[in-house]
Structure 1
């Protein structure tokens, strides 16, 4: 962590209870890609924003810093699109890929230091779904046709590297498929880093078509998962599922919807009008959300407004979540 009191920024000891501070719910950042695009970056190509880890790391630092300065407590790294398989297809060797995973965490740390804020700041390492390597919207479909062992091998390689870089959290995000979530929940329990598990949803189901009740229940038995919920989904879908996430998991919800626009994978463009409304945050919190922010096309201005709303809430001290080994 950076800012405020210093501490062990690595992971929780398995013999201790893991808790997030919660004088108030914690503010997540917004979409990294839209902030990079606003800075003039070309995000075309299969590597998307991850390409800038190689070519323009300074702009990534500036994007993280903009969100911290806007009020985010947690910045999510540029590792979402990074995988050994995806980078290999782009002609990038394993050593460079591992270095980019580590760099993603380092850049967020640099941004936290540069923000020089008088409060604690954290870094969450983004762990995107297998479908992200296709760069064709596969993370919004799921059902990859892979065996459990294949999915586990894919995710374990980069988790090993990311965890070694000592993020404060793992953001297991934009997961479209219950089957993939089950694999990831087992994997993150092998590490000493708190994680959240966040799905992209379609109404009352995952993008792969499974009931959300079953998807959220995955977090109930996962010791390292401190929250479960939704990201990169329209706010109305999020509104309807927060209470279900809390009920089925027995844990707080994580909520960071997109702008409400629709991603056109073929054109690599967003369609429609934005509907993200930070004013929804009180309702989200009342239903049990404790990690709140925005995803694609949600920028620092919206996060600033959301942070002000959260900062004005007077709630008793209580942990956001606890995780204890049996």
Structure 2
């Protein structure tokens, strides 16, 4: 196809793009950390087969396997002298795939961000020659256009757009990868970004990577798109996660097909997939959009939307209100409490910004409702939040509220990890949850390193070693720590028995209690009970109230480790706002009625900082169990906290 046809085709049709290359190669056994683009030279048949699979699935536009083929990246693999060769060969392989498949498809040269979410240490202009070298090779090889993708910083993307206009008049498809809904990493709203990208000469503007279908749709719903601009969306297959030791993505092809229709309703003309998507996803999209014409984009009314306004200035020197308790603080650990009575712990997210007022107000409300501890995540989903150590210390010192801190393996090497734990001990924070942590590359600073000096088993063992007065290296510390260590449990795995065996090994390593992923149905509750009733430690079963239909769909289809029943999805269907939250609370109460029959430990997860929801649920648990005033409910064997009970 000639390069002019793509512009014309997008004016009249919804075009189906291809899906992921790197994550699909990973599924085929190519190790993480490999130079996937070198395979154009060493294993061209493999790359050709991926292109063919996408074309046969219905892709009308494929991207060359050249996302990182620039001198900056190839230098890491000793391939810096092969920039031109790899780019040219990649185009040839794609052309061969189109010929073999005997179907028409546009071939677009893929170019990714060089900055790639890293902290900038050199002027952006220094990257210009690197981009020019790659673009020239792709254009000389006869691509139908250039795809600029996964740019987290608008300013870098604008630099490349300026360069491309000086090199070619072929179509330029420019894509941002936003770490959050509606805003780039360098602080621009998507509305402003699209405006500047269009002015800079991009033929097609859009989003790819980082977010799944739900969050990309939300972004479009709050974005003003320049009149006449062509929109492109390539979502990830939901959030990534490690399932049974392998990187995986959650969203199904059927879910993608449904969202393809919704994206078309938003005026999107080019729809494909990014990380985690496969030919099955593209086939589902193609079938859903078959013979459908494009819809003219209608921008949302943003008169009442403050997206393009800066947030309120940070309030400095906030003086928290004095917190007076009407009763003596319970000195028992959550383990001791759960061995005697129903005990509720509540997760409440640390703030993403510097204003802590709402956070402390929420914690006070949860504490007053009867929460035994406030659990604070450790930069969950690899998104930066305020230090849980600092906030935990302030909760304890200023408000006499007991924190339970998550400690991830991801962010600290063994030196930092031991130092961190020693600091917790000095602050009197002894209750922790050890977790692996989500990979950095999928958070809001994807250029950050994921350390993983230890796994969760090893960190549990080494933390309990501190309780014996020995450092990680085995040296005497002249004092013993007093850590109570929790571990996480995901019931939504293919092999439940293997997951239970893994949990048993964590207990052997020293885990004192278990916190589960959120549960949304009685069948899963009973499954967890039956699988864990023999364990000698308390299990805190996780429950997180739903807040809307879209929230339910997102959790079910895009977040690893969470599954909802069809009944739950139907009950949230069509609901949003306060009505949806009330239904979410009602559903959680029904589940809690069942949970308290077999579990003393209840772990409530606050959604979107709606702490009033989990405060109400905390009070509900303590009221129905008759220990809202600290009354003991001794009804099971404390040596085996989950046995001899049934629904």
Say yes or no: TM over 0.5: yes
2:268 matches 1:274 = no
Q: What's the CA shift string for 1:147-171, capped at 9, x where partnerless?
A: 1321222211111111111101111
1:250 to 1:24, Cα distance in 2 relative to 1, 3 A: closer
In 1, Cα distance between equivalents of 2:63 and 2:176? 16
What is the aligned partner in structure 1 of residue 330 from structure 2? none
What is the aligned partner in structure 2 of residue 109 from structure 1? 95
Q: 1:180 aligns with which of 150, 156, 168?
A: 156
In 2, Cα distance between equivalents of 1:263 and 1:155? 32
CA contact (8 A) 2:16 2:61 kept: yes
In 1, Cα distance between equivalents of 2:101 and 2:23? 20
Q: Bigger shift: 242-251 or 199-208?
A: 242-251
Q: Bigger shift: 24-33 or 243-252?
A: 243-252
Unaligned runs of 5+ in 1: 2-8, 132-138, 319-326
Unaligned runs of 5+ in 2: 297-647
1:314 to 1:197, Cα distance in 2 relative to 1, 3 A: closer
Q: CA deviation at 1:206?
A: 1.3
1:22 to 1:250, Cα distance in 2 relative to 1, 3 A: closer
Q: 2:187 aligns with which of 209, 232, 235?
A: 209
Q: 2:203 aligns with which of 215, 226, 247?
A: 226
In 2, Cα distance between equivalents of 1:107 and 1:282? 32
Q: CA deviation at 1:274?
A: 2.8
What is the aligned partner in structure 2 of residue 260 from structure 1? 238
CA contact (8 A) 1:198 1:231 kept: yes
Q: What's the CA shift string for 1:211-261, capped at 9, x where partnerless?
A: 2222212222133x2211111122222102235666247402100100112
Q: 1:313 aligns with which of 292, 299, 322?
A: 292
CA contact (8 A) 1:258 1:298 kept: yes
Q: CA deviation at 1:313?
A: 1.5
Q: What's the CA shift string for 1:174-221, capped at 9, x where partnerless?
A: 010011011011012121220111111111111343322222122221
What is the aligned partner in structure 2 of residue 5 from structure 1? none
CA contact (8 A) 1:255 1:293 kept: yes
CA contact (8 A) 2:248 2:276 kept: no
Q: How does 1:71-90 map onto structure 2 within 5 Å?
A: 71-90=58-77
What is the aligned partner in structure 2 of residue 324 from structure 1? none
What is the aligned partner in structure 2 of residue 293 from structure 1? 272
Q: What's the CA shift string for 1:28-76, capped at 9, x where partnerless?
A: 00101233233x34133252x2121232111000000000000000111
Q: 1:29 aligns with which of 10, 18, 35?
A: 18
What is the aligned partner in structure 1 of residue 45 from structure 2? 58
Q: How does 1:83-232 map onto structure 2 within 5 Å?
A: 83-94=70-81, 96-117=82-103, 120-131=104-115, 139=116, 141-190=117-166, 191-201=168-178, 202-223=180-201, 225-232=202-209
SS in 1 for 2:203: strand
In 1, Cα distance between equivalents of 2:68 and 2:19? 16
What is the aligned partner in structure 1 of residue 33 from structure 2? 45
In 1, Cα distance between equivalents of 2:85 and 2:173? 24
Alpha-carbon RMSD = 2.5
1:271 to 1:36, Cα distance in 2 relative to 1, 3 A: closer
Greater relative contact order structure (CA < 8 Å, 6+ sep): 1
In 2, Cα distance between equivalents of 1:54 and 1:315? 38
Q: Bigger shift: 211-220 or 17-26?
A: 17-26
What is the aligned partner in structure 2 of residue 321 from structure 1? none
CA contact (8 A) 2:267 2:294 kept: no
CA contact (8 A) 2:213 2:236 kept: yes
Q: CA deviation at 1:128?
A: 0.3
SS in 2 for 1:185: helix
In 1, Cα distance between equivalents of 2:206 and 2:164? 16
Q: CA deviation at 1:273?
A: 3.0
